[in-house]
């Protein structure tokens, strides 16, 4: 299954957090990393008294189930010192399962495609960079979604 993961960090050397998270994804069982976007800098969505984020999106091919993959992503978050903190607050590493093939999940643990995507420039534009022809189940084309979502201060980090 072709899967897209959103990565975000705004604590403890965010660029390094995102780069080492990509390496951790490369080590997942039954999974190949197909493509990684550039790194992007973005102002926080949520409380404004927190640092800017580093964001990226990665494409994987995996035979892991969506729920098994979610377990693995949460394990990587914990290895990066992720702690539960205030709602929409700062975090060392966030790994979001954005898209799992053409499947739709709406259960206690998994909402896929990620319902926040249409409003999140820091997800949509990195996703468009690596999958410009993507059609997102129930949401439309990545091109339409980007057209409808302002950049909100998002910028690509050079040489990433």
What are the catalytic residues? Answer: 82, 91, 94, 96
Q: Which is nearer to ligand ROI, 63 or 85 (CB)?
A: 85
Among 45, 57, 39, 31, which Cα is nearest to 134's?
57
CA distance 68 to 53: 27
Is there binding between residue 51 and ligand ROI (CB under 6 A)? no
A 10 A CB-CB count for 7 gives: 29
Question: Which SS3 state, helix, strand or coil, does residue 118 take?
Answer: helix
Instruction: State the DSSP H helix or E strand holding residue 5, giving kind and residue range, or none if neither.
Output: strand 2-9
CB 123 within 8 A of CB 114: yes
Which one among 12, 35, 74, 88 touches ligand ROI, defined by CB under 6 A?
88
Is there binding between residue 45 and ligand ROI (CB under 6 A)? yes
Which one among 36, 37, 53, 70 touches ligand ROI, defined by CB under 6 A?
53
- The span of 15-23, 25-33, 44-52, 106-114 binding ligand ROI (CB under 6 A) equals 44-52
Is there binding between residue 102 and ligand ROI (CB under 6 A)? no
Q: Which is nearer to ligand ROI, 100 or 122 (CB)?
A: 122
Look at the block and give the residue holding tokens 């690509």: 156
Which positions from 109 to 128 touch ligand ROI by CB under 6 A, shown as an x/- string?
Answer: -------------x------
Residues 6+ apart with CB under 8 A from 49: none
Is there binding between residue 46 and ligand ROI (CB under 6 A)? yes
Instruction: State the DSSP H helix or E strand holding residue 105, giving kind and residue range, or none if neither.
Output: strand 105-106
Q: Which residues make up the interface to ligand ROI (CB under 6 A)?
A: 8, 42-46, 53, 55, 88, 94, 122
């Amino acid at each position: 299954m072709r899967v897209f993961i959103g990565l975000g960090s705004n604590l403890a050397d965010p660029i390094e957090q995102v780069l080492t998270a990509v390496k951790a994804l490369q080590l997942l069982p039954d999974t190949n990393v197909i493509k990684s976007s550039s790194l992007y800098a973005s102002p926080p969505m949520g409380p404004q008294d927190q640092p800017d984020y580093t964001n990226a999106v990665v494409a994987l091919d995996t035979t892991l189930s969506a729920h098994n993959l979610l377990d693995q992503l949460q394990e990587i978050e914990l290895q990066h010192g992720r702690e539960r903190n205030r709602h929409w607050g700062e975090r060392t590493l966030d790994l979001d399962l954005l898209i799992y093939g053409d499947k739709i999940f709406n259960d206690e643990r998994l909402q896929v495609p990620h319902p926040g995507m249409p409003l999140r420039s820091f997800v949509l534009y990195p996703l468009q960079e690596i999958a410009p022809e993507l059609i997102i189940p129930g949401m439309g084309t990545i091109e339409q979604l980007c057209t409808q979502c302002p950049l909100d201060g998002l910028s690509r980090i050079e040489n990433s």
